[in-house]
Chains A and B, each alone.
Chain A
Amino acid sequence: KNEVEQSPQNLTAQEGEFITINCSYSVGISALHWLQQHPGGGIVSLFMLSSGKKKHGRLIATINIQEKHSSLHITASHPRDSAVYICAVSNYGGSQGNLIFGKGTKLSVKP
């Protein structure tokens, strides 16, 4: 079993829909990261969080430390949100940068 699991693997939505991507992890963490990767493109860091909730524009990230679970929500989705969303964790006690990554959720938003 992977230490970081994401669901769903693939997600297709209609423009305007509310989207949720889930991430569960099995290790103790110091931080959790949500990343965005466009096809053939670079990686953009969306959020880093260790507790509670963060919001940036139409994106919201939440984390429940007790349940070892995080969600990424996209409100009023748009075709430009189509990308792979990756959850990664910093293992508590691990060295900096030694992130454990999920396999990603491929999101496609149709107009």
Chain B
Amino acid sequence: NAGVMQNPRHLVRRRGQEARLRCSPMKGHSHVYWYRQLPEEGLKFMVYLQKENIIDESGMPKERFSAEFPKEGPSILRIQQVVRGDSAAYFCASSPGLGDNYGYTFGSGTRLTVV
């Protein structure tokens, strides 16, 4: 039973390009969460999704960032027109139900570098 799979592990983008980060939750997990870890800073919540629904996006920057969790396939975090300040580690977590009841399983993260 594979854990939470994130790809790519490392992603390099030039300023102005788009970055697409993928997260496949654990089998049977229908709740997905995205977090960002800026260099030398703590983790910050970005967005909580269930299949085909965004439940809480209060941590998402208002512009250029979007997330989806389609009926089929992985959850995608999309960053348009990347800037240097987007360089960070992005982590995904999943849970089979409410996270505070079941706990959270994290992935290995995607390290985004904007050059």
Q: How far is the CA of A30 from the CA of B108 in the complex (A)?
A: 26
- A86-B43, A88-B43, A104-B42 as given contacts; A97 in contact with B104, CB under 8 Å: yes
Give min CB distance, A72 to chain B, whole Å.
16
Q: Does B55 contact A (CB under 8 A)?
A: yes
Comparing B11-19, B63-71, B72-80, B93-101, the segment that makes contact with chain A is B93-101
Q: How far is the CA of A41 from the CA of B6 in the complex (A)?
A: 12
Q: CB distance A96 to B106 under 8 Å?
A: no
Number of cross-chain contacts by CB at 8 Å = 70
Q: How far is the CA of A102 from the CA of B93 in the complex (A)?
A: 17
* Binary CB contact string for chain A from 86 to 111 against chain B (1 if under 8 A, 0 otherwise): 10101000011111111110000000
Q: Which of A33, A99, A104 has the most CB of B within 10 A?
A: A99
Partner of A33, one of B35, B91, B104, B108: B104
Q: How large is the interface on B (under 10, 10 to 19, 20 to 34, 35 or more residues)?
A: 20 to 34
Q: How far is the CA of A93 from the CA of B100 in the complex (A)?
A: 11
Residue of A nearest to B49 (CB): A97
Q: CB distance A96 to B98 under 8 Å?
A: yes
Q: CB distance B107 to A42 under 8 Å?
A: yes
Q: Does B20 contact A (CB under 8 A)?
A: no
Known: A42-B106, A96-B31, A96-B56. 6 other contacts (CB 8 A): A42-B91, A42-B107, A45-B106, A96-B48, A96-B55, A97-B31
Interface residues of A (CB under 8 A from B): 30-31, 33, 35, 40-45, 48, 86, 88, 90, 95-104
